[in-house]
Amino acid sequence: MNVLVFVGIHTLLAIALNLLLGYAGQISLGHAAFFGLGAYSSGILTATYSWNPWLAMLVTASVVASVAFVIGFPILKLKGHYLAMATLGLGIIVYILFNEWVDVTGGPSGFSGIPNLQIGSLIFDTDFKNYYLIWIFVLGCVLLSVNLANSRIGRAFRAIHDAETAARVMGVNARLLKVQVFALSAMICSIAGSLYAHVMTFIAPPSFGFNISIELLTMVVIGGLGSIYGSFLGALLLTTLPEFLRFMNDYDIVFYGGLLMVMTIFMPGGLVRGIPQLFRKIRGSGKDKGNANA
Amino acid sequence: MPMLELNGITQIFGGVTALKDVSFSISEGDITGVIGPNGAGKTTLFNIVTGIYKQTNGKVIFEGKDISGLPAERLAALGMVRTFQNIELFGNMTVLENVMVGLHSRSRSGLFACSFKMPWAIREERTISEEALEWLRFVGIEELAKIEAGNLPFGRGRMLEIARAMACKPRLILMDEPAAGLNSKETLGLAELIRKIRDLGVTVVLVEHDMELVMDICDRIVVLNLGEKLTEGTPREIQENPEVIAAYLGDDE
Amino acid sequence: MELSEQLLQYLLSGLSTGAIYALIGIGFSIIYNSTGIINFAQGEFVMLGGMLTLFLLETLELPLWAAIPLAVLLATITGLLFERLAIRPLRKATPISLVIITIGGSILIRGLAMLIWDKDTHAIPSFSGDEPIMLGGATVLPQHIWIIVITIILISLNKWFFNHTISGKAMRACSYNPRAAGLVGVDVRKMVLLSFMISSAMGSLAGIIVAPLTMTSYDVGIMLGLKGFCAAIIGGMSSGIPTVIGGLILGILESLGAGLISSGYKDAIAFIILLLILFIRPQGLFGKPESERV
């Protein structure tokens, strides 16, 4: 049950990154930062300042989205490798902040005493209850993202991805849309972070470091860039896999690295496109046009 | 008032003068050809007019409005759109979706309305897809609507690009070498299509190497050479102009 | 100690770490200029330099003078394999897929290093003892001198290679215009391979000479790699003097920041500089928008 809660949170994060990377074609190697900002802000507001958790989540999400919107303008001017490095740098700066701002965040030893979420007298304090809580959020997020992906805005994202200049000539305001999807993506991560904080009641910097950003990237790539269901698949696989890879201890990192490389070379469309393609190849029907745009 | 007016356009790329003081104007309803040997600056000129480059000097005036320096994305809404020399399609999207992007500047639903599928967003989406299909019919590739654009043969891709541009409902369309890469039958179809577009009341400007096509369909022709305007006139005048002939022969075109 | 002496001390230690960043940064630039790829695995070669030397010294009990060239050789072979197995098979190479695959490679190399050796931090003996040398009120370790001297030699060799050898000139040609270089008979793929080998050799040597000062472990590559990249960005992705200056600026600022502000935030300095440069002067501190590369 516990694992399914994490699958849910990871699905939220993977969808967030996928909207940015898979649809709009803009990479981020620092998304764990927004996840962490959500978690720490919710944690601090509720534990230190006794805010209502729901209010804290809402305020946090809006602030994180606004911050992402503002830094989005200079950062998304960059393309490709430069964008990757800049977002990576951003992620590391935020991570250092979590570690070093000890008075507020508790530093490397973590931040504890975060209350559970509560609706009336219903307190989300067991895995079972949290499972429902998280998955309601996930379902909502999937639904809204699929809607968005199949709308004029989603089309504009994909157009920017495929041919930015042509998209601009068609009247797509590429710069603004990129910043918007960046902010939206950051907001979803922030909400996932708030949920994570209230579920765990204890948070520490390593949950929001560079490795987590890379893990998210791996989920999105393995599931399938530009596929919301792929994000779920990737999150499911990468969250449950370590349970089966327990015997590998810390060495599962080798496995991730290898997986990322093998997938990029042999299945660049991810599992959602790769598996059907594989089936078709085995059946030998020769048609291999995977269309998984949802 | 001319549809489009270029006023002393100069473009310098790191010391190299690509365009020097180019001025001409284009009247509404005309098909105008911009020709010239390779390196004459035709594509640069296009990129300046359509907001992709920012010129070093000079003004672009569209329907009486100074649009110099306006970014490309603003121009579609003003009624100006272009196609590209090496067709720039959204390769991972279907043919229909490509044209639907063309309707982007004429639709309104925002992030919120789209995510929550508000009734007006659904209505708008339906209109968009119906109108996009109309435009596919207009260029004669509606049967390919569901195919991924990246898999289209080149000639069809060209048609799709024109359909996508027309979906913006432009009053001025600029085509960068629309006949490049087309076979002679496809070129004939293209000439037909360009006339059809003009008959809808859209002003057409094309950069083109295919002289037969240019002489056949253009009302007026502007000749560029080495970044400067050499001359302009009707196809007949251009054909008889010794300077033009010299420029082409001298440049081994 | 007086402030002026303290400053001198920071300056001197900043210079030697800066030299390391410069070497790593040049490695980034060489690959970037010949392929347009930012090799996210660059830092792992730095790590390999240190770890391989340690392995050769302690496990195989080779003398230092034999261990160092052998470690560089092994790291270079890894660089060669990396290009062959990860970069070349990528047919539809978009910037994003290149970022992902080099990240995958970097995780894989790091994971394998952890698998082969361990997760501990190790010390490598200094090249010539640890007797401090007094220098105008500041103390300098012999290893600092080694670092500076080796860096100067490497940079001069590098310059000589690009200006005076056929291969070097061919690589420069590739960086200006790979297609034209190919047309006049330069084997572009071979140059790409060569660039990966040179930069892994330089990276590993940087890792070796710094290891006696900073210790080494399987995961030192991340930070060193990123800071090397930062140096390259300051230098406008030049593989010459501007990147060296970039590295020195970064090293000195870090050392001053650590000494005068807080050592915890030291690592953040590099990334703040990175972001500032990317936002304000993406062509580097010294570059004109169209600057000379290589």
Residue of B nearest to A181 (CA): B111
Query: What kind of fold does domain B4-79+170-250 have according to CATH?
Result: Rossmann fold (3.40.50)
> Which chains have at least 3 CB atom pairs separated by less than 8 Å from chain A?
B, C
Displacement of CA C193 from its chain's centroid (Å): 17
| pLDDT (average), residues C99-110 | 90
Q: How many helices (H) and strands (E) does chain C have?
A: 11, 2
Q: In C, which residues are within 8 Å of A221 by CB distance? A: 100
Burial class (CB in 10 A: 0-12, 13-18, 19+), A56: buried
Cβ contact B91–A163 (<8 Å): yes
Contact B176, B43 (CB under 8 A): yes
Q: In C, which residues are within 8 Å of A249 by CB distance? A: none
Closest CA to B97 of B156, B166, B165, B149: B149
Relative to beta strand B220-225, strand B31-35 is: parallel
CA atoms within 13 A on the CB side of C123: 5
Q: Within an 8 Å CB–CB cutoff, is residue A267 touching chain C?
A: no
Interatomic CA distance for residues C31 and C261, integer angstroms: 35
Cβ contact A29–C278 (<8 Å): no
| pLDDT (average), residues C131-155 | 86
Contact C250, C230 (CB under 8 A): yes
Write out the two tokens for C219: 């995961």
* Cα torsion A64, A66, A68, A70: sign: negative
Minimum-distance CB partner of A152 among B93, B104, B148: B104
Interatomic CA distance for residues B176 and B162, integer angstroms: 11
Interface of C with A (CB under 8 A): 32, 37-38, 40, 86, 89-90, 92, 95-101, 103-112, 114-115, 119, 222, 226, 229-230, 233, 262, 264-265, 267-268, 271-272, 274-275, 278-279, 282
Mutate to test the interface with C, among A29, A217, A253 (most CBs of C within 10 A): A253
Mutate to test the interface with A, among C108, C116, C223, C276 (most CBs of A within 10 A): C108
| pLDDT (average), residues A88-108 | 92
pLDDT of residue C118: 85
**What angle separates helix C188-214 from helix C166-176, to the nearest 10 degrees?**
100
Is residue A283 a part of any domain in this protein? no
Mutate to test the interface with B, among A23, A170, A177 (most CBs of B within 10 A): A170
What is the share, in percent, of chain C residues with pLDDT greater than 90? Answer: 37
**Angle at B147 (CA atoms; ends B142, B151), nearest 5 degrees:** 120
Residue of B nearest to A175 (CA): B73
Contact B242, B250 (CB under 8 A): no
Question: What part of A 6-35 touches C (C-beta under 8 Å)?
Answer: 21, 25, 27, 29
Minimum-distance CB partner of C274 among A85, A210, A250: A85
Q: In A, which residues are within 8 Å of C44 by CB distance? A: none
The gap between the terminal CA atoms of chain B, to the nearest Å, is 35
The least confident of A100-104, B5-9, B169-173, C264-268 is C264-268
Interatomic CA distance for residues B134 and B127, integer angstroms: 11
Q: In A, which residues are within 8 Å of C274 by CB distance? A: 85-86, 89
Interface A–C counts its CB contacts (< 8 A) at 124
The least confident of A188-197, A284-293, B144-153, C60-69 is A284-293
Interatomic CA distance for residues B111 and A156, integer angstroms: 11
pLDDT above 80: residue C135: no
pLDDT above 90: residue A97: yes
Q: Within an 8 Å CB–CB cutoff, is residue A146 touching chain B?
A: no
> Which chains have at least 3 CB atom pairs separated by less than 8 Å from chain B?
A
pLDDT of residue C269: 87
pLDDT of residue C288: 61
pLDDT above 50: residue A292: no
Mutate to test the interface with C, among A222, A255, A265 (most CBs of C within 10 A): A265
Neighbours of A125 (CB within 10 A): 15
Alpha-carbon distance A252 to nearest alpha carbon in chain C (angstroms): 8
Write out the two tokens for B148: 């991924």
| pLDDT (average), residues A148-177 | 93
Cβ contact C111–A253 (<8 Å): yes
Please, where are the H alpha helices in A76-126? Answer: 80-100, 102-105
Contact C104, A264 (CB under 8 A): yes
pLDDT above 80: residue A222: yes
Total domains present in chain A: 1
Is residue A279 a part of any domain in this protein? no
Q: Is A65 helix (H, G, I), strand (E, B) or coil?
A: helix
Cβ contact B114–A154 (<8 Å): yes
Alpha-carbon distance A102 to nearest alpha carbon in chain B (angstroms): 38
| pLDDT (average), residues B67-96 | 91
Look up tokens 């096509």; give the residue. B213
pLDDT tens figures, C249-292? 999 999 988 888 877 788 888 899 889 988 888 877 876 654 33
Cβ contact A78–C282 (<8 Å): yes
Look up tokens 């179809």; give the residue. B189
Is residue A117 a part of any domain in this protein? yes
Q: In B, which residues are within 8 Å of A165 by CB distance? A: 52, 72, 84, 88
Mutate to test the interface with B, among A139, A145, A169 (most CBs of B within 10 A): A169
Closest CA to C15 of C256, C261, C294: C256
The least confident of A186-190, A239-243, C23-27 is A239-243
The least confident of A111-115, A229-233, A284-288, B66-70 is A284-288
Q: In B, which residues are within 8 Å of A180 by CB distance? A: 111
Contact C257, C13 (CB under 8 A): no
Tell me how long chain C is: 294
Could you please report the per-residue DSSP string of B112-142? HHHHTT-HHHHHHHHHHHHHHHHHHHHHT-G
pLDDT of residue C81: 93
Q: Within an 8 Å CB–CB cutoff, is residue A92 touching chain C?
A: yes
Hey, what's the torsion of the CAs at C246, C251, C257, C258, to 10 degrees?
160
pLDDT of residue C290: 44
pLDDT of residue B250: 65
Look up tokens 């690589």; give the residue. C171
pLDDT tens figures, C234-246? 998 888 889 999 9
Name the class of domain C7-126+142-280.
mainly alpha
Interatomic CA distance for residues C133 and A2, integer angstroms: 58
Contact B2, B28 (CB under 8 A): yes
Residues 6+ apart with CB under 8 A from C174: C33, C34, C181, C186, C188, C191, C192
Relative to beta strand C133-135, strand C138-140 is: antiparallel
| pLDDT (average), residues C203-231 | 90
> In which region does residue A25 sit, left (phi positive, over 0), alpha (psi from -120 to 50) or beta (all else)?
left
User: Across all residues in chain A, what is the average pLDDT?
Assistant: 89
Q: In C, which residues are within 8 Å of A258 by CB distance? A: 104, 108
Closest CA to C214 of C202, C201, C227: C227
Relative to beta strand A122-123, strand A118-119 is: antiparallel
Residues 6+ apart with CB under 8 A from C190: none
Question: What part of A 157-186 touches C (C-beta under 8 Å)?
Answer: none
Residue of C nearest to A73 (CA): C279
Mutate to test the interface with C, among A93, A99, A219 (most CBs of C within 10 A): A93
| E strands, chain B, in order | 4-13, 16-26, 31-35, 57-62, 65-66, 80-83, 172-176, 203-207, 220-225, 228-233
Q: Which one is predicted more confidently, C182 or B139?
A: B139
Q: In B, which residues are within 8 Å of A151 by CB distance? A: 109, 114-115, 117, 121, 125
Interatomic CA distance for residues C212 and C31, integer angstroms: 27
pLDDT above 50: residue B26: yes
Minimum-distance CB partner of A170 among B92, B102, B115: B102
| pLDDT (average), residues C27-56 | 91
The least confident of A239-248, B57-66, B115-124 is A239-248
Neighbours of A237 (CB within 10 A): 17
pLDDT tens figures, C169-199? 888 888 777 778 888 888 888 888 999 999 9
pLDDT above 50: residue A286: no
ipTM of the complex: 0.90
Cβ contact B88–A159 (<8 Å): no
Give residue A211's pLDDT band: very low, low, confident or very high (50, 70, 90): confident
Look up tokens 């290149």; give the residue. C98
From residue A243, give the alpha-carbon distance in Å to each of A141, A196, A237, B169, C77.
Answer: 26, 19, 10, 56, 35
**Domain boundaries in chain C?**
7-126+142-280
pLDDT of residue C1: 58
Contact C271, A89 (CB under 8 A): yes
CA atoms within 13 A on the CB side of B159: 27
pLDDT above 60: residue A285: no
* Cα torsion A5, A6, A7, A11: sign: positive
Relative to beta strand B203-207, strand B31-35 is: parallel
Q: In C, which residues are within 8 Å of A88 by CB distance? A: 226
Give residue A275's pLDDT band: very low, low, confident or very high (50, 70, 90): confident
Residues 6+ apart with CB under 8 A from C91: none
Please give, one letter per residue, the 3-state secondary structure of C2-36.
Answer: CHHHHHHHHHHHHHHHHHHHHHHHHHHHHHHHHHC
